[in-house]
Amino acid sequence: MTATLNTTLKWAVLLFFGVFALGPVLWMFMSAFKTTPEILTAPFSLPSEWRWQNIVRTWSEGGFSAYTTNTVIMTVPAVAISVALSTLGGYAFARFRFRGGSVAFFVLLYGLTVPFQALMIPLFYNFSRLGLINQYPGLIAALIAVHLPFGIFLMRSFFVNAQAEIADAARIDGCSEYGVFWHAMLPLAKPGILALTTIFFTDMWKAFLLPLILIQDDARRPLTLGLLFLRDAQGQQQYELLAAGVIIASLPTILLFLATNRYFQRGLVAGSSK
């Protein structure tokens, strides 16, 4: 009897938090297909008809095609470069002991704790002086820099676990150190690279404060800033456009997460527990 009660309770708790996690998002997604009067008067009912044109209107009239392009322009190079730099850096710290290495490692370790607020003031004023405000290269460089500590730690843990013997075997076969890295270590670290890519992609896609400081031109806003702009600009009408904007802004990362779920979760665990 207690066993059944416990099982029921267990499922009740699991489901309760499931509804808590998904409820608000699904509710907002559903509202994207309604009209504003429907949103205001019948918050929980299904849309009287599924108005896909709301999404299209947000995409074209709401400026979300440009916002999405901007987010992609910001995210893709930043992910590619930061994954490459993290992989090389992680390899260096996993495999070599070198002068300045432990100091650099210690500094990176504390880098995980540095709040962006402690960088943003000089970044803003120095970037202004260099004409880098409203420019993607400056934004991308800053995004890369703040993600390097986590990336290097994640890749280091993957390389540490990669079998050292395999590197030895490759060396005996006459490979240079670079050859060892390319032909033996890199393939072994592939799961780590995939995990890091998905983690960085979703994380950079979400960037808010960095573009808030560095991008002031509406035409160059990424999705996160575009949403806020739409919310504050639209005043009292057309709530469905904001909800549609939420769908556009979040669907790419949700789909990527669902597609790479196992890699993603494993990567989080590997990067965090070491």
Q: Which is nearer to another protein, 57 or 266 (CB)?
A: 266
Residue 52 touching another protein (CB under 8 A): no
Residue 119 touching another protein (CB under 8 A): yes
Q: 254, 39, 221, 233: which is closest to 136 by C-alpha?
A: 221
- Tell me the two tokens of residue 164: 């050292």
The binding track of 206-245 with respect to another protein, each residue x by CB under 8 A or -, is xxxx---x---------xxx-xx--x-------x--xx--
Out of 56, 112, 130, 233, point to the residue binding another protein (CB under 8 A). Answer: 112
Residue 177 touching another protein (CB under 8 A): yes
Number of other CB atoms surrounding residue 7 within 10 Å: 10
**To the nearest 10°, the Cα dihedral for 186, 191, 196, 199?**
170
Out of 3, 117, 174, 235, point to the residue binding another protein (CB under 8 A). Answer: 117
- Tell me the two tokens of residue 11: 């499922």
| Residue 73 φ/ψ, nearest 5 degrees | -60, -35
Residue 33 touching another protein (CB under 8 A): no
As measured in angstroms, the least distance from the Cβ of 160 to another protein is 5
Residue 85 touching another protein (CB under 8 A): yes
Residue 111 touching another protein (CB under 8 A): yes
Question: What does the alpha-carbon distance between residue 73 and residue 78 come to, in Å, rounded to a whole number?
Answer: 9
Q: Which of residues 3-32 bind another protein (CB under 8 A)?
A: 10, 13-14, 17-18, 20-25, 27-28, 31
Cα R_g (the chain), whole angstroms: 23
As measured in angstroms, the least distance from the Cβ of 229 to another protein is 11
Residue 237 exposed, middle or buried by CB count within 10 Å (0-12, 13-18, 19+): exposed
